[in-house]
Chains A and B, each alone.
Chain A
Amino acid sequence: MNFLYKLTEKLKEYREISKVDEIARRYFVMNGFDGSLTILGFLIGFYLANFEDPVVIFVTGISTCVAMGISGLWGAYLTERSERISDLRELEKATISNLNNTKIGSAYRFATIVVATIDAVAPFITAIFSLIPFLFTNYLDIKTCYYISFVLTFTALFALGVFLGRISKENLFISGMKMVIAGIVSVLISTLLIRNF
């Protein structure tokens, strides 16, 4: 218990020093939004092409989720690491000391890992959420799976908007709808493109 308490305190301190919460929140929403919209486009494509093999849809969807997760992990890790190293060097110049082996150095390394993990997990979660109905094709027909999947995707988009609304203390419904509109725009453009193909 004492070890857990110490660990929690240390992580809390690292969060405060690196100010990781704000960045992590931003990355979570941005990449969660990316995940939802990508999978929405992917599902619209399959739906309009009258594709009816749930296994292929699910497996392709999962590999898209994995690719988005890996892309998020690598991209965010390398970007955040470079930014943090640059910040640390500037701080070292200001304080005329080596900060690598201090709490600040550790907090910055902690922030890089947290941000990379969130960047990987966020699109993975939101995208996989939309694919859940395709696991139940034994009980539901494929069209119903598509419709439930669209509803889940728009729900995820709305939830992300609500999350942003809570941060900015704005009207939650309006904030949620702003995200949903992005999804509708994406569906309309995809439909127009596919219909005229």
Chain B
Amino acid sequence: MSNIRRLVLDVLKPLSPSIIELAKQLADTQGVDGVDVSLVEMDTKSESVKITCEGENINYKEVEAVITDNGGSVHSVDKVSTGSTIIEEVPTHQDTESTLA
């Protein structure tokens, strides 16, 4: 089965541990080479973050376990890239038309 190379997740987590701590722990996960965590929305006790992981062979279960252990929950898997190279999303006519409209 081919490897997961990029993973984009929508996560709801408590304010503590911080996204710095979470990003560091995710980066330490086996198969993950780099992590980006961006704040999407902040509440008094929780925050929504977008997590992007890149690596040669990402283990989704391990990534999810790190998030869960830190009190977060994966709301949705927004993007997955697999295979020997990462393919970027290609804009189509429909996308261009909707953008123009």
Contact = CB atoms under 8 A, between A and B. Distances in A.
B73 interface: yes
Given A97-B73, A104-B14, 8 more contacts: A16-B17, A90-B45, A91-B45, A91-B71, A95-B14, A95-B46, A95-B71, A103-B70
Nearest to A90: B45
25 contacts: A13-B17, A16-B17, A16-B21, A17-B16, A17-B17, A90-B45, A91-B14, A91-B45, A94-B44, A94-B45, A95-B13, A95-B14, A95-B45, A95-B46, A95-B73, A96-B12, A96-B73, A97-B12, A97-B72, A97-B73, A102-B68, A103-B17, A103-B71, A104-B16, A104-B70
B61 to A, nearest CB: 16
Interface of A: 13, 16-17, 19, 90-91, 94-97, 99, 102-104
Contact of A16 (B16, B45, B46, B71): B16
Given A102-B71, A103-B69, A104-B71, A94 B21 contact: no
Contacts of A95: 12-14, 45-46, 71-73
Nearest to A97: B73
Contacts, number: 47
Interface in B26-57: 43-46
Contacts of B71: 91, 95, 97, 99, 102-104
Given A91-B71, A99-B71, A104-B14, A13 B21 contact: yes
A16 B17 CA distance: 8
Nearest to A102: B71
A104 B44 CA distance: 17
Contacts of A13: 17, 21
A103 B43 CA distance: 20
Nearest to A104: B71
Contacts of A94: 14, 43-46
A106 to B, nearest CB: 9
Nearest to B72: A95
Contacts of B14: 91, 94-95, 99, 104
B70 A102 contact: yes
Contacts of A16: 16-17, 21
Nearest to B45: A94
B65 to A, nearest CB: 11
Contacts of B13: 95
A102 B45 contact: no
Contacts of B21: 13, 16
A95 to B, nearest CB: 5
Contacts of B45: 90-91, 94-95
